[in-house]
Structure 1
Amino acid sequence: MDDVPDLNAHLAARLRTLRAEQGLTLDHLSERTGVSRSMISLIERGESSPTAVILDKLAGGLGATLASLFADERTSEASPLARHADQRVWRDPESGYLRRSLSAPGFPSPIELVEVILPAGARVAYDTMHRTVGVSQQIWIIEGSIELSLGDDRHELKTGDCLSMKLDRPTVFRNVSEHSARYLVALATDRAASGSPHR
């Protein structure tokens, strides 16, 4: 697993780069996301271990996905292969959920794959906010079960189930069982859908 200081440094650099590319000040990004200016500054200096919820808000305000924050800047020279030993692994300090970035970092692709392990009793809630790109997502349960709420819709997902969804409403992941759940998340971005509200 990546050690936390190294991954925090990577996240800090990615956020600074994405914000600079859009010409956004800390205040502008704070207004877009609802994350305080001081918190964004701490994260960008690598002095804070942000939660998944905060990272998702920042990604949304920057027109990116949460998964893309863990990847490298996309270049045509990037390798299409991501060896298991080189895949970035991160644990959310709030919920304890573990995410592994499966896709090759920096390789230009509209699809991002992530493996998630959601501990027993864990809950992660993402708010809806304006996203400058459309994002579609599919979740395939490898083992265990989770409850997923998408706005007013609630789904009970068990081993082998696959749910397709758009990230356009509040989304809550819960593991109400006594065992960890493991699932694959596939995300696809659609810049043609920019301007519509997406998380």
Structure 2
Amino acid sequence: MREVTDYISKNLQAIRKERGWSLDKTAKMTEVSKAMLAQIERGESVPTVTTLWKIANGLKVSFSSLISQQTNSVRVIKKQDRNLVTEEENHYRVHTVVPFSPEKQFEVFTVELDPDNEHTSLPHNPGVEEHVFVKKGQLEMDIDGTVETVDEEEAIIFDGNQPHIYRNIGDNVLHLLVLIYYAQ
């Protein structure tokens, strides 16, 4: 987890400085407090998934660009090298599979959600589209009040710029593959 915290710290600071933004402006754009942003940049605080999404949306960058080591080289991403971020008291786990690519405008995650748990996601920026593939289990998606059940080996695609909730309605851990596409 220390490695992910270091990536988040360095990436947030690099993006902010590249734009010439103060912590005050960054706080205003992301709706995350200046104190919290400073703690994240110093590596003193591990942000939640929700906080990372608020930062990504406010900075108009991908989620994985905050949590992954930035590199321009081609690489194989080994299972043991994936970055892990958790929320909901560790009942919701997100692993980066394919970090964001500016050329392709997408990123891919695996998500694990324990039985009888849910994760509420804040709306993403306009133009963000989510493709959610159920690998194992049964997913109930609540997309701004529209509820859909997605079974194993099925998928759901929706505009990510609206509130959405992932619910595990099965008896076992829910395994998802999530592709997030960022329209230009």
TM-score (ref. length: structure 2)? 0.88
Q: Which moves more between the two structures, 26-35 or 160-169?
A: 26-35
Q: Does residue 4 of structure 2 align to residue 11 of structure 1?
A: no
SS at match of 2:98: coil
- Please state how far the C-alpha of 1:21 moved relative to its aligned partner: 2.0
Partner AA of 2:87 in structure 1: D
Give 1:146's aligned residue: 139
Pick aligned residue for 1:28 from 22, 25, 33: 25
Q: Which runs of 5+ in 2 are unaligned?
A: none
Q: Does residue 156 of structure 2 align to residue 159 of structure 1?
A: no
- Please state how far the C-alpha of 1:128 moved relative to its aligned partner: 2.7
Give 1:96's aligned residue: 91
- Please state how far the C-alpha of 1:81 moved relative to its aligned partner: 2.6
Q: Is the 8 A contact 2:31 2:58 kept in 1?
A: no
Q: State the distance in 2 between where 1:169 and 1:22 align.
A: 27
Q: State the distance in 2 between where 1:122 and 1:67 align.
A: 24
Which structure is higher in strand share? 2
Deviation string for 1:10-60 (max 9, x for gaps)? 111111112222222211121122211111111111111211111100000
Structure 1 runs (4+) greater than 3 angstroms displaced: 104-109
Q: State the distance in 2 between where 1:23 and 1:119 align.
A: 41
Distance 1:96 1:47, change over 3 A: farther
Q: State the distance in 1 between where 2:58 and 2:102 align.
A: 22
Give 1:117's aligned residue: 112
Give 1:44's aligned residue: 41
Q: Which moves more between the two structures, 38-47 or 96-105?
A: 96-105
Distance 1:113 1:128, change over 3 A: closer
Q: Does residue 166 of structure 2 align to residue 173 of structure 1?
A: yes
Task: Tell me how large the CA RMSD over aligned residues is.
Answer: 2.2
Distance 1:89 1:110, change over 3 A: same
Q: Is the 8 A contact 1:50 1:93 kept in 2?
A: no
Q: Percent identity?
A: 22
TM-score (ref. length: structure 1)? 0.82
Number of residue pairs aligned between Structure 1 and Structure 2: 184
